Amino acid sequence: MDSQLLDKTQSEPNLSIIDDDSTVRNFVSTRTKRKRCEDFDDFRQEMKELFDDWTEKQNKQLQKLFPILNNIQEANKGIEASITFLAEQNTEFKKKIEQMELEIKKKNEYIAIIEDRLEDTLRNSRKTCIEIRNVPVESQETKEGLVGMVDNLAKTLNTNLTKSDIKDIYKSKGPTERKSIIVELSSTLTKEQILKSAKAYNLRNRSNKLAAKHLGINKFADTPIFVCENLTPKASRLYFLARDLKKTKDYKFCWTSYGRVFLRKDEQSPIIQVHNELQIQKLINE
């Protein structure tokens, strides 16, 4: 038994087998490394070809885009030139508009001056005139008949008015059933006397104020009449708006004097002369 084990241990190894196995291992290892290297080279070559192909395609695309980009650049230059031109035109137009606005402002100021002068002229032409409003229309009216009506009114008011005090008299035009009698008197003193007398009469006779019967008109005798200044169209409009303002904003006084319109909030407030509609609008917004 021991001799057999000894023979086995002392026997020479099979070197040929070992060499063969080593050779196989070395061969396998060597072949594997060479294949990986070749595969990497192939992969690299393939990637290079793909990249070259992609680069070539990109270059072709860029070659196509270059003309488009050039056109865009040219178009942008044209747009910039147009914008510059429009900006210059806009600046020029702005200057012209400013000049026109300045001229319009000057013309409006001049028109306002002319309107004020015209208003003064019209006001002066009516400074001795009174107006009897809401007078019923009678058939076949004459100047003598109108003078008779004013004479009856003067007697009612107990004023010393003679025919010589009446320079002119006429009725307003229009198709309405109620018209106004315009009376041009000899002086502003006579005019103011009649206006004050009419106001005082109505205050004394609140239940029997001035009416058509006080003019000697029997038809529609109880139609109320109103004795006031003969205002210009502008003043009449302002007086109408001022009376409306008096109601809506609780002003205590609204009156006319020598063709001008006045407002007053109360006895302690300052007197306001109304010059235009814009002024009334400002008073409404306060």
205-241 pLDDT, tens digit per residue, is 999 999 999 999 988 899 999 999 999 999 999 999 9
Mean pLDDT on 111-135: 94
Whole-model pTM? 0.64
More confident site: 260 or 25: 260
Q: How confident is the model at residue 37 (pLDDT cuts 50, 70, 90)?
A: low
pLDDT at 64: 77
Q: What's the average model confidence in pLDDT over 100-105? A: 94
Residue 178 clears pLDDT 50, i.e. is over it: yes
Q: Report the pLDDT value the prediction gives residue 36, as an integer from 0 to 100.
A: 62
Of 26-40, 72-86, 129-143, the range with the lowest mean pLDDT is: 26-40
Residue 130 φ/ψ, nearest 5 degrees: -115, 160
Whether 24 shows a pLDDT value over 60: the answer reads no
* 252 token code pair: 């205590």
Mean pLDDT, residues 191-198 = 95
Average pLDDT of the chain to the nearest whole number: 85
Q: Which of 243, 235, 241, 234 is nearest to 281 (CA)?
A: 241
Instruction: Please tell me which residue, 78 or 184, carries the higher pLDDT value.
Output: 184
Q: Is 137 exposed, middle or buried (0-12, 13-18, 19+ CB in 10 A)?
A: middle
